[in-house]
Amino acid sequence: MLREAFDWLTTPALPLARRSGHLGEFVAIAARRRRHAAAWADHEARSKAAVSRAAQAADPAGTALILGAGHANDVPLEALSARFRSVVLVDLAFAHRTRWRARRLGNVRCRRHDVTESLATLEAIRAPTAWLDDREVRFVASVNLISQLATVATRHLSDDAAERTGRALAEAHLDWLRRFDCPACLIADRTIEILDAEDAIVATVDPNKGAVLPESDEEWVWNIAPRGEIDRHHSVRHRVIAIDRLKR
């Protein structure tokens, strides 16, 4: 708990991230990864491979825009830096190690930005517009981000309001990605499954609140909370999909 408190106090983040609870979730994710690094390793490796594969279709003489890269454990940062003229990492907050890696590579920048452009009020959800007119952007990747937009921002709302707002945030994110005039890939949770002590599925949750994700190019399981993380009798896994290029 002391490590998490220290990280919350010292992690560079937008004030909005602290007020909205996103920074708390950001710190909690890092702590969970430290506890379950082995269980997360395959998911992180497959996420990196999917981004690298999708990036091959993009013009390297420009910028790769990576959304949700605050920790960058699931981003092939060195490979992207070597391929593209520049790389911009986007998130509400950035881990110290991510900032160190960016400085070491030289052509990587960390940009703190609300990718929804709606978190301040949640009253009028609209598709973001940032970077759409930047002709240097030649590749976009949204990495394990969209379900966080639909759940973290809405957890203090009533059930009905959370469903409506979460779906609107997820759909706006998809619309934004489709509007880029370059290859845009998506790595996302399609479903969350809760398993009992016998590894039988006892509940399934839609983390995107009803937003429809396109057909995937690849799918895998992320064992995000092995038994003992939530309680002694249950574990949680995500069904993750990778879409190499969203259709406009």
* Domain residue limits at 63: 2-186
Residue 149 has pLDDT above 70, yes or no: yes
pTM for the whole thing? 0.91
Q: Is 69 domain-assigned? A: yes
CATH code at position 46: 3.40.50
Mean pLDDT of 67-73: 94
Residue 87 has pLDDT above 80, yes or no: yes
Q: Is 229 domain-assigned? A: no
Amino acid at 221: V
pLDDT of residue 158: 80
Q: Is 124 domain-assigned? A: yes
Separation in Å, CA 239 to CA 159, 202, 222, 242: 23, 15, 6, 10
pLDDT of residue 62: 97
201, 194 contact by CB (below 8 A): yes
User: How many structural domains does the chain have?
Assistant: 1
Q: Is 212 domain-assigned? A: no
Q: Is 226 domain-assigned? A: no
Q: Is 21 domain-assigned? A: yes
Q: What φ, ψ does residue 194 adopt, rounded to 5°?
A: -105, 125
Q: Is 167 domain-assigned? A: yes
Q: Is 209 domain-assigned? A: no
Q: Which residues are paired to 193 by β-bridges?
A: 204, 237
